Amino acid sequence: MDLRDFNTYGQGAIAQYDMPQNYELIGRKFEFAMDDGIDYTLNFVDKTTLKWNFENEKPQKATNYLCQKADDTTYLVSFELSGVEKRTNHTWVIDLENWLVTRVCAVIGDHPKFEYLIRPKYEFGAIKREDAEMKLYPRHGYTDDLVGNIVQWFYSSDMTTVHVYHCTDYYRITYPPEKAASRVFNETLAKLPSSDEPTAYIKIKEGMYLFSLTESNAEKIIGDTGAFPFRSNSMAFLQNYKRVYLVGRAFGTTMFDGVINPLHISFSAFGKILQPTEEYILKLLTDPNPYIV
């Protein structure tokens, strides 16, 4: 038997190393005290369904969800809201070590000029507990801890990216040229002033970060040309640097051969922290960002 016969799933994409969905939260109900003043409830019903609602909003709404685990006590939960006019995703980092939460809210269609453009919003909070008093701090929060680091992420046997975390508001990406799947992506990046895209870096705990990016510059410049199949996707990476792997989700829109389809998937990757020795990586660290003055 040739084991390569099994190794066909998602080789050229980000799905091959995706970890199995996690079902440990089934049967649990969480109430989140959010810093925006609007509390939130999640009720995990079964392997595919959860119910959610904002404070004092009834009945709860049911929807399908994705759930992955970044360490023994930290979960990434993602779902689309049902019954809304504009596609909306809520992604939660549920931190049961510190009883804290972070929410990423991504909406498609709220920009008057770019119909697929996503502008994510972030909110922090705490998990209510019967055995502990609710405190206003500490919280997960924005950080510059990752700035100056370069990490290569392996999503499949053929799909590898290099993330350059060069400032607190943006990141850069390149694809190692030796990988076959890299050619089309590097050709697409060459059509842009640079690969810089807006990001948020959020510290969850020591050694764990939520890195969130939006493909907004690519959408504004080449989105309608068909040169790039992903239309302003929002990507959330829950990165565990003690083990150097991540779990994540992508939410947005794809366009292949002019056909538009919704996108909402989970993914995982294994990482390697790089030293900035190769010339093409050094250039990514030092080149100016053309999108800002």
E strands in the chain: 29-34, 40-44, 49-54, 61-71, 74-80, 88-95, 100-107, 121-127, 141-142, 149-154, 160-165, 170-174, 197-205, 208-214, 230-240, 245-256, 259-274
Range of the domain at 186: 142-286
CATH of the domain at 49: 2.40.128.20
From 80, 105, 129, give the residue that closes a domain. 129
Residue 243 inside a domain? The answer is yes
Per-residue pLDDT, 10: 63
Same structural domain, 124 and 146: no
Q: 115 and 63: one domain? A: yes
Give the pLDDT score at 269. 97
Q: What is the pLDDT of residue 219?
A: 95
Structural domain includes residue 210: yes
Residue 210 and residue 111 share a domain: no
Say what the pTM is.
Answer: 0.94
The per-residue pLDDT of the chain, averaged, comes to 92
Q: What's residue 125's pLDDT?
A: 97
Q: Is the pLDDT of residue 284 over 90?
A: no
Query: Phi and psi dihedrals of 248, rounded to 5?
Result: -160, 175
Predicted local distance difference test score (pLDDT) of residue 266: 96
What is the reported pLDDT for 180?
Answer: 61
Whether residue 134 is predicted with pLDDT greater than 90 in this model: the reply is: no
Radius of gyration of the chain (CA): 19
